[in-house]
Amino acid sequence: MTEAEKKFIVDSWAWIEYFEGSQTGKKVADIVEDEKNTVICSSLTLAEIVSKFARKQMDFKEVVYGITSLSRVIEVDELMAVSAGEIHASVRKYIKDFGLVDAFLLSIARSSHAKILTGDPHFKGFPEATMLFTK
């Protein structure tokens, strides 16, 4: 990977901003639509997004197509699960509502040397996170 290329794991917070077309979503678009970047989406993140759209009784097929077109969806495996479990237990000592999917994203980021593209306050202070905020 050259210096111009970057690797990002996009979390559900960032994807939702992207599909809602918010100002922050435009920042997400600049990153995920840049062909120089490697964009990753966890299969768990994809499930979170489908759930959110389905609960709102919105058609999520175009969203799934958009994510799969713009990113490489990766499956979780045994090593990721073990690492995520350890991260989850550790982080929950000081962030009581830190989610298990967030722990998976940290595990993936650490093992793939990628940045998590997010605005989720749970990731504030983690060096693996590239924080975005809605203004």
Alpha-carbon distance 60 to 13, whole Å?
Answer: 16
Residue ranges and CATH numbers for the domains of the chain are 7-120 (3.40.50.1010)
Query: The whole model's pTM is what?
Result: 0.90
Alpha-carbon distance 35 to 29, whole Å?
Answer: 11
Which residue positions in the chain have pLDDT lower than 50?
Answer: 1-3, 135
SS3 state at 15:
helix
**pLDDT, position 58:** 87
Alpha-carbon distance 10 to 50, whole Å?
Answer: 15
**pLDDT, position 133:** 75
DSSP label of 38 = E
